[in-house]
Structure 1
Amino acid sequence: MSHIPYVPASTRYDEIPYRHCGTSGLQLPVIALGLWHNFGDDRPFQTQRDIVRRAFDRGIFHFDLANNYGPPAGSAEENFGRILAKDLAPFRHEIIISTKAGWNMWDGPHGFGGSRKYLLTSLDESLQRLGTDHVDIFYHHRPDPDTPVEESMLALHHAVTSGKALYAGISSYSAEATKEAAAIMRDLGTPLAIHQPSYSMLNRWIEEGTPSLLEAAQEEGMGVIGFSAMAQGMLTDKYLGGIPDDSRLASGKVNKDFFTDEALGHVRALNDIAAERGQSLAQMAVAWVLRDQGASLTTALIGASSTSQIDEAVGAAQNLTFTPAELAAIDEHAVDSGINQWWGVTASR
């Protein structure tokens, strides 16, 4: 059977809006596809390929990875690299590929953290797995209190000046640490373009403090891409009637402690509000993250285990407007439920 070349939908840039990433010239779709789950070797490759192709057809041209995504670690990059080679290589200039390093990747003291050795070695290995000579965004995946922030930022600066990354970003840094890191990078001549924190209706830490992380990023000219907009699946209809056997919760990939009776009570109330808006709970969760709140987010980062979930997320972008009454009703139930596994720490030691 001959290989039929993939031809993306001609309407792909008409599907969802895209926004400038902070004050940079980089423009990103309001929805990005994260490969944290569902793209390891435990999932059929053809399913992964179908999801990525559907995403690109629907205007999602930003694909977010990290060195340790799998399982096993590294396999998500390898599998995306295969999809890139088979289908997307002719459109590489249209696609935003991001990857990260910071969490555990290999044995030994230089297999995690924020050292120059770990970050730059990891980037080289990521490029090999992806089969590309550069990524569009390279992140420090988490602040490392045991490494001077200057060292981590110098590594990001080198990644950009070497041509192995076009933009640099950080993830899960506090507001204070973000401003510290941004000042260093600005002095080096490689401004931080983007911050990737966790953010959802059940995890609102980036709104807190003076300045909040959202405000700090805006002051520094950085875009913000919020991950876990659906709170690890809690903000969907998946768990309203119990725990499905095929869910991430049942498989142990999500902490069961998050699913308290109180949290699920809030989820059910939010589901009712979404229905009144004519959206699914998942769609409202994405739309709420992208709502106008002064310091608006650039992008909501979603995961998907099927092409239908891509279509549902794209549908969320059709209604990003909330009335004051809707926001007030949501605020009664959009409360922190202790599900933030990724804390924003101060970079200084």
Structure 2
Amino acid sequence: MNWQPSATRYEQADFRRCGHSGLDLPRISLGLWHNFGDTDAFATGRATIRRAFDRGVTHFDLANNYGTPYGSAEENFGRILQKDLHPYRDELVISTKAGWDMWPGPYGNGGSRKYLLASLNQSLKRMGLDYVDIFYSHRPTPDVPLEETIGALVQAHRQGKALYVGISSYDAASTREAEVILRSAGVPLLVHQPAYSLLNRGIEATLLPTLEELGVGCVIFSPLAQGVLTRKYLGGIPSESRAATSRFLDQAAITPQVLDAVRQLDQLAQARGQSLAQMAVAWTLRNPVVTSAIIGARNVQQLDETLAALDNLTFDATELAAIEQALSGV
């Protein structure tokens, strides 16, 4: 029997307009950076994606090198699309990226036109799609002219292989430059995807104001600081944790000062009736410039727990002051 999504999937769903575009995104999006590769259980990932759609999560965020091995997250997502979500393709926003290392040699990394467009073609093939909704330059590449990198986004858009284009991890100055190049080509910059969390607030000073001024959406990633903003590390570093096994989280970053701040934040979250993870996600969404927060989920239970952050997105002045105090020593 074919799977059928919930008929009430949009009744409690919460969306926000992405910048000055016509595109609405769910306040929480599902990222497939981890948990959806060939080293993960396909059935678990499939159940998680189906549950996300049942809960009104319509935005699924990928990149060419997500999963182990590289490309496997897109391949598995493509299988799930074919098995379950193909009839609902027009209800989905599917994004992918290129910019980091993907295949050997000089043409499998960076910001060249050759790499970005070849990677997009491969991504479409892996997912079984004619187009993605958003294609990102995954990172700035200082040794490649920005005009070439952004020109590749323009070409992908004109070819109909990407409905919208975005950039990720660009600073405010290069964001302005990219926006000008795109605008001169008649292609709007839809969205910027930066890292943002209670422990990583670098975008607040210049990038967020720039995005607001330019009318560019902001879809943030790592709102839980790679799991540090959970209770996972309060008793030490578990052997199976990301800090112990991943190159993306350095154990040295989990200092006594950070752990002390996390403990204080955990107490504040409990007083709000939330888990620390729920409060951390809600905190990123308090800023009206932030369109959506990308979360990861190991399984359906973790997905549901994180989506419960949407039940309380309001912070009063006392709570915000207490959060600032907790972070003052970090």
TM-score by length of 2: 0.97
**Cα-to-partner distance string for 1:61-119 (whole Å, 9 max, x where unaligned):** 10000001111110000010001100000100000100000000111111111110000
Instruction: State the identity %.
Output: 58
Answer whether contact 1:227 1:301 (CA < 8 A) is retained: yes
Higher mean displacement: 228-237 or 9-18? 9-18
What is the match of residue 297 of structure 1?
290
Answer whether contact 1:169 1:192 (CA < 8 A) is retained: yes
Answer whether contact 2:100 2:109 (CA < 8 A) is retained: yes
Query: In the TM superposition, what is the alpha-carbon distance from 1:32 to its structure 2 partner?
Result: 0.4
Tell me the distance in 2 between the aligned counterparts of 1:334 and 1:177: 29
Q: Aligned in 2, Cα 1:262/1:308: closer, same or farther, shift over 3 Å?
A: same
1:216 to 210, 221, 232: 210
**Cα-to-partner distance string for 1:246-276 (whole Å, 9 max, x where unaligned):** 3222323532122111111110100000000
Tell me the distance in 1 between the aligned counterparts of 2:7 and 2:254: 42
Tell me the distance in 2 between the aligned counterparts of 1:48 and 1:62: 15
Tell me the distance in 2 between the aligned counterparts of 1:283 and 1:73: 30
What is the match of residue 260 of structure 2?
265
Map 1:329-340 to 2 at 5 A. Answer: 329-334=322-327
Letter of the 1:32 counterpart? S
Tell me the distance in 2 between the aligned counterparts of 1:81 and 1:134: 12
Letter of the 2:225 counterpart? A
Greater relative contact order (Cα 8 A, min sep 6): structure 1 or 2?
Answer: 1
What is the match of residue 320 of structure 1?
313
Tell me the distance in 2 between the aligned counterparts of 1:19 and 1:227: 16
SS in 2 for 1:249: helix
2:59 to 59, 62, 65: 62
Answer whether contact 1:204 1:335 (CA < 8 A) is retained: no
What is the match of residue 346 of structure 1?
none
Query: In the TM superposition, what is the alpha-carbon distance from 1:335 to its structure 2 partner?
Result: 5.8
Answer whether contact 2:211 2:217 (CA < 8 A) is retained: yes
Tell me the distance in 2 between the aligned counterparts of 1:111 and 1:38: 23
TM-score by length of 1: 0.92
Tell me the distance in 1 between the aligned counterparts of 2:241 and 2:12: 29
**Cα-to-partner distance string for 1:18-50 (whole Å, 9 max, x where unaligned):** 000000001000000000011111101001101
SS in 1 for 2:258: helix
Query: In the TM superposition, what is the alpha-carbon distance from 1:16 to its structure 2 partner?
Result: 3.0
Query: In the TM superposition, what is the alpha-carbon distance from 1:306 to its structure 2 partner?
Result: 1.1
- Is structure 2 residue 273 aligned with structure 1 residue 286? no
What is the match of residue 97 of structure 1?
94
- Is structure 2 residue 141 aligned with structure 1 residue 144? yes
SS in 2 for 1:150: helix
Tell me the distance in 2 between the aligned counterparts of 1:177 and 1:36: 25
**Cα-to-partner distance string for 1:209-245 (whole Å, 9 max, x where unaligned):** xxx1001111111100110000000111222222334
Q: Aligned in 2, Cα 1:157/1:34: closer, same or farther, shift over 3 Å?
A: same
What is the match of residue 345 of structure 1?
none
Letter of the 2:257 counterpart? E
Letter of the 2:312 counterpart? N
1:187 to 184, 196, 204: 184
Higher mean displacement: 28-37 or 233-242? 233-242
SS in 1 for 2:34: coil
Answer whether contact 2:65 2:102 (CA < 8 A) is retained: yes
Answer whether contact 1:65 1:77 (CA < 8 A) is retained: yes
What is the match of residue 20 of structure 1?
17
Aligned-CA RMSD value:
1.2
- Is structure 2 residue 197 aligned with structure 1 residue 240? no
Tell me the distance in 2 between the aligned counterparts of 1:82 and 1:143: 31
What is the match of residue 311 of structure 1?
304
Answer whether contact 1:203 1:336 (CA < 8 A) is retained: no
Tell me the distance in 2 between the aligned counterparts of 1:336 and 1:69: 34
1:256 to 251, 259, 272: 251
Answer whether contact 1:127 1:133 (CA < 8 A) is retained: yes
Answer whether contact 1:138 1:156 (CA < 8 A) is retained: yes
SS in 2 for 1:13: coil
Answer whether contact 1:204 1:336 (CA < 8 A) is retained: no
- In structure 2, list runs of 5 or more residues that go unmatched: none
